[in-house]
Chain A
């Protein structure tokens, strides 16, 4: 569903991503771990066609993202670290707008159902989102993914800054989406959440995918060790 083939991205002499290849299939969650500047967000930007790779190809649903920039976006929903919506519109209106931009039209009831499925309280559905917390805005993003029946979810640090309750709720939603067959790529710093939610974990450093493992093969302790090892924090651990 999500495929990168030998992606390299250079900014002048600086190599942001070096020969990166991975696959995320239906019902899988790949969490990319790594420090700031490791290249996690860059790969998401390449998959969104916001950034062009220097070398290699990226595919969403077997379509090249560069050759099919509009078509590939029909299959995906992107939730950035700080999902921003239109502040003077309500949650329902925001969802209505974004779904219409994806050529899907729903009535008010359907939109409210999607918001409820994403865990947004009914009382908030018609409130303007300028009163919403980050967690509530992300639920609107998830509602969009559900409404669009997205096959792919791209998440960039989605739990950063969320309180534990919101974070738990969000992770539960991701698990549900995974079970529904959505392929999810999540860039994160959060080892604990990555271990909890992912099917696969990739650890990146300086644009290189240093480690790629099936989550079930690792304990949290092992994961932490590998991570710190890669990040050159062996002595500290």
Chain B
């Protein structure tokens, strides 16, 4: 088999089409890497500046009433993850910062897409684009005629007369299809790894995540290689094989993902922005259960608190009731937001499930989910970020409200919190899941990829035995 592999590789090295495709892909990769790194550095610098500027504004706002400060608000910024350089995922559309203020849970804003012109609709060059669309095309270019050329050139007869078994021949061709793309991919990832390692202020870069991504892409290329060689084995001519493999590539990369999006949206539609706001307003007005609005709940809270402390008036309480009530009010509203954002999250999860379940039509879907998750650029990660930001918002509100509660008197006007105290507010800190956690979360995608590899490979062995 080694001889077959070497011969195939030697022929390939003399194939002008292959050499051109590799050169073009390498140039595109280089361009994507250069622009990606520059973009990353720029975005990361903006982020770092924004984080420190926002914090400085917060810390130097001077003595101020804590509730005014709560309304004045701060921002929670999503880190610019290192591997987003490789796979942008949904980051262009999800926004990278959330305004944190009293009484309101806001959505992330300042997405890259909103900062770009309509030209952005045509897409941008990224490393991921080359990896998921162009590399499979190179595989097709290498392997579409791997078997049919032996038929067409009539060299198959010579091979068979030398006693070469069909299985050995096909496996040799399979390896010869895989090896060039493996070398190219491993080299690409090593270059990316070295470049990333040398970028300053890199957020959450780990070689293990990069290697997981590499592994995922290699498995995907194995699948494409296996299918390409299998189609060549089953085709009567190279032309038929090429057209068939390209159709499969189109089905995998374009048709199925788009159909899956339509299915997911149809099966679990997202409410419009106005519907969502109306539902939140309704619950704010009438309470979570529809008949227990905050003003009634606030009255109940007051009587319960008075009873608990054995006093008749709130002015007799050992703390400033206003701060306490504001905090409880915040928690009440937070529950309403939680309810509605949980509904949205649930819809997103269901949509992703529908989308993911169509992986049986295309391994591309599993790869995309896995790649975005490992790169921390997925919708799932964005939800984790927004939930973390909301948790921090509540923590911040509690910090401010309890300052009023503990340090001011009921009815006291003009109370201010010192600048020093503002500095004590913990910073927002978002840590993404570990690589291992991501792998566990993606068990289904990994299984789908393994299945996609296993079945065509078995097909390859069975059909080659019959040749």
Contacts and interface: CB of A to CB of B under 8 A. Distances in A.
A76 B163 CA distance: 10
B162 interface: yes
Give the contact-size bracket for chain A: 20 to 34
Given A88-B14, A89-B11, A100-B3, A78 B158 contact: yes
A82 B3 contact: no
A161 to B, nearest CB: 14
Nearest to A45: B157
Contact of A84 (B7, B15, B158, B163): B158
Contacts of A72: 163
A207 B14 CA distance: 45
Given A93-B7, A97-B7, 6 more contacts: A48-B160, A78-B157, A80-B157, A88-B14, A88-B15, A101-B4
Contacts of B57: none
A88 to B, nearest CB: 5
Contacts of A78: 157-158, 161
A83 B154 CA distance: 8
Contact of A83 (B158, B162, B164): B158
Interface of B: 3-4, 7, 10-11, 14-15, 153-155, 157-165
Contact of B11 (A84, A86, A98): A86
Given A88-B11, A100-B3, A70 B165 contact: yes
Contacts of A80: 154, 157-158
Contacts of B154: 80, 82, 84
Given A86-B7, A88-B15, A89-B7, A73 B163 contact: yes
A73 B164 CA distance: 9
B162 A73 contact: yes
Contacts of B157: 50, 78, 80, 84
Contact of B153 (A87, A100, A102): A87
B224 to A, nearest CB: 24
A18 interface: no
Nearest to B156: A84
Contacts of A87: 153
Nearest to A154: B161
A27 interface: no
A74 B163 CA distance: 7
Given A84-B155, A86-B153, A100-B3, A73 B161 contact: yes
Nearest to A78: B161
Given A93-B10, A97-B7, A100-B3, A84 B153 contact: yes
A78 B3 CA distance: 20
Nearest to B155: A84
Contacts of B159: 101
Residue picked from A76, A88, A101, A154, most chain B C-beta under 10 Å: A101
Interface in A135-172: 154
Contacts of B15: 88
B155 A48 contact: no
A98 B162 contact: yes
A98 B153 CA distance: 15
> Closest 5 A-B residue pairs measured CB to CB?
A73-B163, A78-B161, A84-B154, A100-B3, A70-B163
B161 A77 contact: yes
